[in-house]
Amino acid sequence: MPKLNIKEILDKTVDYFEKYDIAQPRLDAEVLLADLLDMERINLYVNFDRPLSPDEVDTYRELILKRRQGTPVAYLVGEKEFMGLKFKVNSDVLIPRPETEHLVQSILNRIDTWEEEEVKIADIGTGSGAIIISIAKLADKLVQGIAIDISESSLAIAQENAANLEVEEQLEFKEGNLLEPLDEKVDIIVSNPPYIPSGEIDGLQEEVQQEPSLALDGGQDGLDYYRKIIDQAVDYLTTDGLIIFEVGIEQSQDVADLLKKRNYSNIEIKKDYSDIERVVLAKYN
C-alpha cells in the first residue's frame, strides 16, 4: 500500500474536520501536522510530496481524533502564539486569545508616553503569563512586573514562559487570590479576569469547556471579579495609576459603571478589530 504524502493526508483531514464542523479545518490540520513533523506550516506546502511513515500517520490520526473530540489545538501542540511570541500552554491555563492582544497593545501605548523610565505592573490572574510577559518583552521602557495567580500550576507555566522569553529577571510570581499577595503600590493593574456568566458555561463551545473553569466562570452576571479587583485596586495603585481590563461582549458599560462608582476617572472604552468593545481602562487619583 503506497504511503500517504503531506498533501493527501492534509486533504483527508480537512474533509474529516469539515464533516464534524471544526471551525478552522485547514488551519487546524496544518498546525497539527507541522508540529508533528517539526516544521513551519509554510514548509508543508513545499514538501507536499513527502511521504509519511506509518508511525507518523498513526500519531497524526490520534491527534485528529482528540481534536475532533474537542481538545483545543493549542493543548495538543503545547503552545500558542501571542503578540508574535510563543507561549507554552496546557490544560492548567487559559489559551491566549487574539482579542487579548488589544489589551496588551493598549498598555504598550500608555507606556510609550510614561514619564518615568520604569513602570511597575501587576497582572491579576496571570495564567500562562502571556499578558505581563509580552509587556515586559515588548515595552520601550523597563517593566517590573508582578504576576499573580491562585493556581500554583498556572504560575509554574508562567515562570517557564518568562524564562523561555528571557524576561524572568523583570518579573515576580506570587500565588494568591486576586490582589491579596500585593504588598506595594504599582503604576498599572491589568487583568483579563473570568467574565463568562455561570449560566452560560455549559453552552460554550466544546473546546472552550476544556479550558479551566476557574479562568472562565465570572459568577452570575460575569462581573464578580471586576467588582473585587476594582474595590481592592484603590489600595494598590499609585497616584494617577492605571487599571485596565479585558471585558466580554456587552460588558464594557457595566464595568465602566463599576469604575465610576468607586471614583475612578478618565474612563475609556476601546474596541477590537471586530468592532467589539473589548478593553476598559481608567485612572485612580
For residue 2, say whether it is annotated as part of any ligand binding site.
Answer: no
Identify the residue whose cell numbers are 473570568: 194
Query: Grid coordinates representing 24?
Result: 478552522
For residue 54, say whether it is annotated as part of any ligand binding site.
Answer: no
For residue 129, say whether it is annotated as part of any ligand binding site.
Answer: yes
Distance (Å, whole) CA 285 – CA 283: 7
Give the other-Cβ count within 10 Å of 200's Cβ.
13
Distance (Å, whole) CA 284 – CA 237: 7
For residue 203, say whether it is annotated as part of any ligand binding site.
Answer: no
Question: In b/e form, how buried is each residue of 88-100, taking b as 16+ CB within 10 angstroms?
Answer: bbeebbbbbbebb
DSSP string, 89-132: --TTSPPP-TTHHHHHHHHHHHHHT-SSSEEEEEEET-TTSHHH
For residue 128, say whether it is annotated as part of any ligand binding site.
Answer: yes
For residue 222, say whether it is annotated as part of any ligand binding site.
Answer: no
Region label for 227, one of left (φ > 0), alpha (ψ between -120 and 50) or beta (otherwise) = alpha
Give bridge partners of residue 212 from the DSSP assignment: none
Crossing angle of helices 224-233 and 252-261, rounded to 10°: 30
For residue 264, say whether it is annotated as part of any ligand binding site.
Answer: no
Distance (Å, whole) CA 259 – CA 267: 8
For residue 164, say whether it is annotated as part of any ligand binding site.
Answer: no
For residue 193, say whether it is annotated as part of any ligand binding site.
Answer: yes
Give bridge partners of residue 80 from the DSSP assignment: 87
For residue 192, say whether it is annotated as part of any ligand binding site.
Answer: yes
> In this structure, are residues 192 and 131 in contact, taking their beta carbons and an 8 Å threshold?
yes
Binding-site residues, please? 125-129, 149, 192-195
Residue ranges at the known binding site for S-adenosyl-L-methionine: 125-129, 149, 192
Q: What residues are designated binding site for substrate?
A: 192-195
